[in-house]
Amino acid sequence: MYRVPREMTNAGDPARTIALLWRDESAIPRKGPRRALTLDQVIGAAIEVADADGLDALTIRRVAQALNTSPMTIYTHVPGKAELLDLMVDAVYAHLSRTATTGQPWRARLTAVAQDNRALFQDHPWLTTVSTQRPVLGPGAIAKYEHELAALDGHGLTDVQLDDCLTYLLTFVHASARTAIEAQAVRQATALTDEQWWASAGPLLARVLNPADYPLATRVGEAAGQAHQGAYDPDHMYEFGLARLLDGLAPLLDRTP
């Protein structure tokens, strides 16, 4: 049996979620005392908590503490954490930097889309841990989708191919960003750089490893380690992977529409 992701979008009440995302006035309770906070303040506080300490630390109580109010006050704005998470994701999508690339070649446009999304994950690392298999259906997410599709439009692709190419690009960026964040977390948890770790582990491996038994792994591993000052360089792999991804899309996008 497959394990359900710990955090995923659209895990709450879809009717309430969409009404909140689109600020449908009919979904806002009319009875009760006048609200001292706005929904955007609640969302902003939740994002700050997640940015600082991750989604494991995100609770309605923690958001209330950040706003110096009671959990019940937060519940007058959102039904629960599931709906709040959708609002958070849509809000960071809405504020995503959208580099202007009008008139530029398709490689420059797609590189800008990739870089904007990479910066988004760097600013909000918790976003890499959220499954968006069922996408957020808010204005921020849809505006992001519209903007990014425009980077691929005008090359004779079908609508399905437009979506395929964008999904391919964003999946790569997401995986790359998550790996980079994990690498940073390992360095922080161990208080060692990759170079320092290898300086300790390398001599231990040398005692038990016979290079003649693994000539290719030994030669390539040493070359890569020297080039990257460690077993893995997230920036290098992002640049290498993005270039290969764009090469793979070239047969589609270099065609004359």
Tokens, residue 41: 């303040």
What's the domain count of the chain?
Answer: 2
Q: Report the SS3 class of residue 179.
A: helix
Q: Which strand (E) or helix (H) includes residue 249?
A: helix 234-253
Residue 32 gets the label, from left (phi > 0), alpha (psi -120 to 50) or beta, of: left
**Dihedral (Cα; 165, 168, 174, 178), 10-degree rounding:** -160
Nearest CA to 155 among 252, 33, 54?
252
- Which amino acid is it at 227? A
pLDDT of residue 7: 92
pLDDT of residue 36: 81
Residue 125 shares a structural domain with residue 207: yes
Residue 122 shares a structural domain with residue 65: no
Write down the mean pLDDT value for the chain. 92
Span 113-131, average pLDDT: 97
- Convert the pLDDT of each residue in 197-228 to its tens digit: 888 888 999 999 999 999 999 999 999 888 88
pLDDT above 90 (res 27): no
pLDDT of residue 249: 97
- Convert the pLDDT of each residue in 53-91 to its tens digit: 999 999 999 999 999 999 999 999 999 999 999 999 999
For residue 161, the domain's CATH number is 1.10.357.10
Domain of residue 56, residue span? 14-94
Residue 4: inside a domain? no
pLDDT above 80 (res 26): no
